[in-house]
Copies of this chain bind each other. A is one copy, B any other.
Amino acid sequence: MDYHIKELMACRLSRELLDGEAVGVGANFPIARAATLLAYYQHGPNIKVTMGAFRVNLENADQAMNMAFFSDFRPVRWAESAMNFSTQMYSFHKLDTFFISGIQIDAHGNTNLIGIRRDDGSFKFRGPGSIGTTTLAAVARRYYIIAEHHNPRVFVEQCNVVSAMGFGDGTPGLREELNLPGAGPKLCVTPLGIFDFTPDTHRMRLHSLHPGITLNQVNENTGFRVEIPDNIIETDPPTARELKTLRSRVDPNGELR
Contacts and interface: CB of A to CB of B under 8 A. Distances in A.
Interface of A: 84, 86-87
A28 to B, nearest CB: 29
Copies in the complex: 2
4 contacts: A84-B86, A86-B86, A86-B87, A87-B87
Contacts of A87: 86-87
A87 to B, nearest CB: 5
Contacts of A84: 86
A87 B84 CA distance: 11
A87 B87 CA distance: 7
A89 to B, nearest CB: 12
A84 B87 CA distance: 11
A134 to B, nearest CB: 23
Nearest to A84: B86
A84 B85 CA distance: 13
Nearest to A87: B86
A85 to B, nearest CB: 10
Contacts of A86: 84, 86-87
A82 to B, nearest CB: 14
Nearest to A88: B86
A178 B64 CA distance: 56
A83 to B, nearest CB: 13
Smallest CB-CB A-B distances: 4 pairs: A86-B87, A87-B87, A86-B86, A84-B86
A84 B86 CA distance: 10
A61 to B, nearest CB: 31
A60 to B, nearest CB: 32
A86 B86 CA distance: 8
A165 to B, nearest CB: 29
A147 to B, nearest CB: 38
A84 B84 CA distance: 12
A91 to B, nearest CB: 12
A117 to B, nearest CB: 37
A94 to B, nearest CB: 16
A86 B87 CA distance: 7
A169 to B, nearest CB: 38
Nearest to A86: B87
